Amino acid sequence: MKPIQFTDDTFDAEVLKSDKPVLVDFWATWCGPCRQIAPIVEELAVELEGKVKIGKLDVDDNQQTAIKYGVRSIPTILIFKDGELKDSIVGAVPKTSIVQRLNAVN
């Protein structure tokens, strides 16, 4: 399973109305550190399938959502549960850090 591609148009339905926790990777094609964590996000999408919804949002194509959540530097990972922002991680961090923060929300 690949990460879901979220957009400004699908964000409410896919993220805020999700019945599962959602991890959103805010990224852009030109961002080096974003490319570093991309494989981690893809691994998590496979490992947590059915438990956590994992997706990516390209900030260049979807600026409204990035602005709404104050995403100023990328990569930024936001974790939502029950329609609410529960945690944020800024920068390229190890997989273990992301998993710990996800587990704390679940």
Query: Over the stretch 33-76, which tens digit does the pLDDT of each residue have?
Result: 999 999 999 999 999 999 999 999 999 999 999 999 999 999 99
Please, which residues bridge with residue 77 across strands? 25, 89
Phi, psi of 80 (to 5 degrees): -115, 150
Please, which residues bridge with residue 78 across strands? 24, 88
Picking from 6, 19, 9, 5, the residue whose alpha carbon sits closest to that of residue 80 is: 19
Place of tokens 């390209």: 58
Does residue 58 have an active-site annotation?
no
- Band (pLDDT 50/70/90 cuts) for residue 1 is confident
| Catalytic residue of the set 15, 24, 34, 98 | 34
Does residue 54 have an active-site annotation?
no
| Catalytic residue of the set 22, 31, 45, 79 | 31
Global pTM reads 0.96
